[in-house]
Structure 1
Amino acid sequence: MPLVSGLDVIQECTARGLVAGAFNTTNIETTMGIVDAIEKVGVPTFIQVAPTNAALSGFEYIYDMVSRRLAETRVPVALHLDHGKSLGAVEDALAADFTSIMIDASEEPYDENVRISSIAREMTPADLALEAELGSIGGKEDDHGPEVELSTDPSQVEGFVTAVRPDMLAVSVGNVHGYSPTAAIDFDLLAQVRAASSVPLVVHGGSGLPPEQLGRLHEFGVVKVNVASDLRNAMIRAFGEAYAANPQEVSLIRVSTQAVAAISDVVERRIRMLNPSAA
């Protein structure tokens, strides 16, 4: 089916008690692997890209690649801008027909975060989803990370959601971008944030969280969990292992096909971890 709005993914997941994985793509192999897994499991999903990973191709190529692969797929999927750090990135993603948007002004002071996020809300059509972030998530993706890691303050949540009117709220509750041996959800804090929020929550850093924690997130109003590092590692590992086995390897299609299968396996396992009742 054609790409759907992020609102449709949120609504279906909420109605069915599911958590949508949000899987970052950069290239055709990653996209193919993600969609192969989505078709197997049947859980509504976000495919997303951050501006740092659209630098090579541009948002338009990402849209074309994802929408073409999804044309014959029956599972609802939204194409999401991940970590739009500027209003310019929001504008570019909307111009490329993305169906879901994240504005991330979380490193700014609270009032400035509200101001920038509110402008992004006005820019984003009402029939598309907007994700905003309150609290600064630690760790790094692609060597990019916040200068300051800051947990979400439950006392700020209601005011932020009321002022910005996002459809999803990304929170910092012990989750960390990338891989971290210390990453662990503070479920007490997550429960406080959930109680204060009138919109579903988003947890970034799904690659570094243990399965038993991923499987509990649906209990706390989490509708979307981001996974990026696992996929990238799977692809790099597939090419690295092929080279190590044969430094004279020249069959790019064979190795690319192996990478697609490795990525698909990671995505399927993560979706099932997030949705143990649907596994």
Structure 2
Amino acid sequence: MALVSGIDVIQECSSRGLVAGAFNTTNLETTLGILDAVDKVGVPTFIQVAPTNVSLSGYEYIYDMVARRLESSKVPVALHLDHGKSLSAVHAALMARFTSIMIDDSEASFEDNVKTSTIAREMTPRNLALEAELGSIGGKEDDVAPEFAAHTDPVQAKEFVDAVGCDMLAVSVGNQHGFVPNAKIDFDLLGQVRDASPVPLVIHGGSGLPDEQLARLHEFNVVKVNVASDLRNAMIRSFGEAYAANPREASLIRVSKDAVVAISDVVEGRIRTFNPSVN
């Protein structure tokens, strides 16, 4: 199956009461591990990359890897720009044929966030999905932390979405990027934002949240949950274990294949956690 728009993933998940995982890739092993799990479970999914990671490969190489692997898949998958912090990043991802975009000016004032996000909406064709963020999510993304973190204000949610015209709203409700031991969703606040927002919600920082909280997100009109650190750790751990077992290991193919399996196991586990109804 060819890449689909993020709109298609949102619509199918919403109609089936599912939550899409949004899994960050950087390289071939991660891409293969993600899509092996997606094929096994069959839940529509986002594969994504942040601008901080394209320094290794470039947007076009990410597109080529994902699109080629999807030729043998039957599951709807969108290719998403994660945390597009600039309009130039949005432009680059669109030129590389990404099918879903995130603009993130959440650290700016409400007015400036609306302005930047609205320009991103104008740049992004209406048949492609646009995610915007209201409230600044804490923690670290690729060792980059925001200057400040702030919870999403439910009172502003409808005004923001109506002004921008985004298809998904990323929210800050206790979730944090990376591995944060004390990360905890404020479900009362999440419920208020759900009731105020005209569009489905996105939770970033899925790696650091406990399973029992992730399993409840489908009750709050959450359509997308981002996972990055878990996958990167699985790959690094797999390579590290191979070296520890044999410091003279020289079969990169064998070690890489083991890493693909380790990543796939994590992705499958996360998809099933997000969707308790999926067997």
TM-score bracket, shorter-length normalisation: over 0.9
Distance 1:193 1:145 in 2: 24
Residue number in structure 1 paired with 2:202: 202
Q: Does 1:48 align with 2:48?
A: yes
* 1:56, distance to aligned residue in structure 2 (A): 1.1
TM-score, with structure 2 as normaliser: 1.00
SS at match of 2:125: coil
**Corresponding letter in the other structure for 2:28:** I
SS at match of 1:61: helix
Identity of aligned residues (%): 75
Alignment of 1:17-166 (within 5 A): 17-166=17-166
Q: Unmatched 5+ residue regions in structure 1?
A: none
* 1:158, distance to aligned residue in structure 2 (A): 0.9
Aligned structure 1 segments of 4 or more residues deviating by more than 6 angstroms: none
Residue number in structure 2 paired with 1:188: 188
SS at match of 2:22: strand
TM-score, with structure 1 as normaliser: 1.00
Distance 2:158 2:45 in 1: 27
* 1:72, distance to aligned residue in structure 2 (A): 1.2
Distance 1:142 1:197 in 2: 29
Q: RMSD in angstroms over aligned alpha carbons? A: 0.4
Residue number in structure 1 paired with 2:250: 250
**Corresponding letter in the other structure for 2:11:** Q
Q: Does 1:275 align with 2:271?
A: no
Residue number in structure 2 paired with 1:168: 168
Distance 2:239 2:57 in 1: 21
SS at match of 1:277: coil
* 1:142, distance to aligned residue in structure 2 (A): 1.3
Residue number in structure 2 paired with 1:3: 3
Distance 1:87 1:141 in 2: 19
Q: Does 1:14 align with 2:9?
A: no
* 1:71, distance to aligned residue in structure 2 (A): 0.7
Q: Unmatched 5+ residue regions in structure 2?
A: none
* 1:111, distance to aligned residue in structure 2 (A): 0.4
Distance 1:121 1:73 in 2: 30
**Corresponding letter in the other structure for 1:92:** A
**Corresponding letter in the other structure for 2:211:** P
* 1:141, distance to aligned residue in structure 2 (A): 1.6
* 1:145, distance to aligned residue in structure 2 (A): 1.2
